[in-house]
């Protein structure tokens, strides 16, 4: 069951030399999408595709009229200030544009001069959210994260009875999702100390990040219709890195009985590039459920999901403190895990989200939930890495952290690599914490 085509050929090279550099995030095999404009320029945001250290200005390319038909229509859609119109097009159109760009960027292409005139250095651009996110749903798909966190509250029975039967999720707030580079003020809210008679209001004292994978929905489904698990590739446009910021002390007081609220809706950060589902095809792998666990219900199970449901996306988290910036030290690495450890697959998330007839639309966003691996060093949050703040982390420069402090920046990076396949990257997801207002 292969999803590969010529665009994935590891021998493919580009006439743009920066795309051929070893370990580049953006070789010709990647071609991710973003919304950008030149820094400090009085111009509109529009669609772009990364190649090497450059961005292809898709509006400029569209104006050249070198492509017609389906590809020409796709470029017109990508010339808008958001990618929603393009994402709403059929998956076959996404593939057609990817193929056309791959050929145009390949070594020896007759379109080299046309494309060259549409290139802008990535160092000269700023980004906006790649699409208008209408709705955002956050899942809870790492059994390792759920188990560790559950032990803080229920040491003898950390997982609730439904966890291994249902892809758990909640509806988040899309308006506070920002693109990489986001700076936000520490949230304030109501908390209650265990020995206090009443709660108090003030700045969060236990600010945490969550290393997640974001999933962008392309074309949606009609209300009342569900998306079958094996149809999910027609609806998943692509993925990004996602930092779902969390105020743990606010969360601990408010989350019962309805779950996250103010602890989660003050800020979330996405990386600017959407790595298309097609680009990730070489890194899909078998997914399975432990034979001792409940097996997925019929609508959450298929041979295709078992063969190709998991994605081996490497996920790294770093912290950059004010001292590191002042002394020009590199950010300190906190953890490294992989999306392949997810207990539920992206296809299962989509199938479950729509089994009740919920209508997804282009630009809807799914968070994977904190991605933690089986080893302690693979934890995707400080809550896990520090035992809820009890064991402060040594950052290697004389500093320690229990939770994120004012002035700290969290940097997330992601990439896919394996033998015989060209490495592709996700770029960077950077966000900075400012003091509470």
Active site residues: 145
**Alpha-carbon span 268 to 134, nearest angstrom:** 15
**Alpha-carbon span 5 to 55, nearest angstrom:** 23
Adjacent-strand bridge partners of 56: 49, 119
DSSP-based three-state secondary structure for 265: coil
**Alpha-carbon span 426 to 239, nearest angstrom:** 9
**Do the Cβ atoms of 380 and 341 come closer than 8 Å?**
no
**Do the Cβ atoms of 362 and 218 come closer than 8 Å?**
yes
**Alpha-carbon span 50 to 28, nearest angstrom:** 9
**Do the Cβ atoms of 320 and 350 come closer than 8 Å?**
no
**Alpha-carbon span 104 to 49, nearest angstrom:** 13
Adjacent-strand bridge partners of 394: 400
Quickly tell me which residue has 């693979």 as its tokens.
Answer: 378
Adjacent-strand bridge partners of 126: 37
């Amino acid at each position: 069951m292969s999803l590969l085509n010529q665009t994935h050929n590891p021998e493919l090279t580009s006439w743009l030399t920066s795309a051929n550099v070893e370990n580049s995030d953006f070789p010709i095999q990647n071609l991710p999408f973003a919304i950008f404009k030149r820094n400090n320029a009085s111009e509109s945001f529009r669609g772009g595709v990364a190649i090497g250290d450059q961005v292809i200005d898709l509006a400029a390319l569209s104006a050249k009229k070198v492509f017609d038909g389906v590809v020409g229509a796709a470029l017109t859609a990508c010339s808008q200030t958001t990618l929603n119109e393009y994402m709403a097009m059929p998956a076959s159109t996404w593939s057609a544009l990817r193929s056309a760009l791959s050929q145009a960027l390949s070594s020896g292409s007759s379109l080299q001069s046309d494309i060259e005139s549409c290139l802008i250095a990535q160092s000269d651009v700023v980004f906006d959210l790649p699409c208008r996110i209408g709705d955002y749903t956050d899942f809870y798909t790492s059994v390792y994260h759920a188990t560790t966190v559950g032990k803080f509250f229920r040491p003898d029975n950390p997982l609730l009875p439904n966890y291994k039967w249902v892809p758990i999720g909640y509806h988040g707030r899309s308006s506070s999702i920002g693109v990489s580079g986001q700076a936000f003020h520490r949230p304030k809210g109501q908390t209650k100390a265990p020995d206090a008679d009443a709660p108090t209001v003030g700045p969060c004292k236990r600010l945490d990040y969550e290393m997640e994978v974001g999933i962008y929905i392309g074309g949606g489904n009609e209300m009342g219709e569900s998306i079958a698990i094996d149809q999910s590739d027609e609806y998943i446009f692509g993925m990004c890195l996602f930092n779902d910021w969390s105020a743990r002390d606010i969360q601990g007081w408010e989350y019962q009985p309805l779950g996250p609220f103010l602890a989660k809706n003050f800020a979330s950060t996405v990386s600017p590039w959407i790595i298309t589902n097609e680009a990730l095809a070489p890194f899909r792998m078998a997914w399975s459920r432990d034979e001792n666990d409940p097996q997925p219900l019929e609508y959450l199970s298929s041979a295709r999901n078992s063969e190709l449901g998991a994605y081996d996306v490497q996920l790294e988290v770093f912290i950059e403190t004010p001292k590191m910036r002042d002394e020009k030290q590199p950010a300190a690495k906190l953890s490294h895990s992989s999306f392949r450890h997810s207990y539920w697959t992206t296809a299962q998330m989509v199938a479950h989200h729509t089994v009740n007839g919920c209508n997804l639309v282009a630009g809807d966003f799914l968070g994977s939930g904190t991605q933690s691996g089986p080893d302690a060093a693979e934890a995707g949050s400080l809550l896990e890495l520090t035992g809820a703040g009890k064991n402060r982390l040594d950052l290697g420069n004389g500093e320690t952290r229990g939770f994120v402090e004012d002035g700290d920046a969290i940097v997330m990076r992601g990439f896919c690599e394996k033998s015989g396949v060209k490495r592709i990257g996700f770029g960077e997801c950077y966000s900075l914490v400012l003091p509470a207002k």
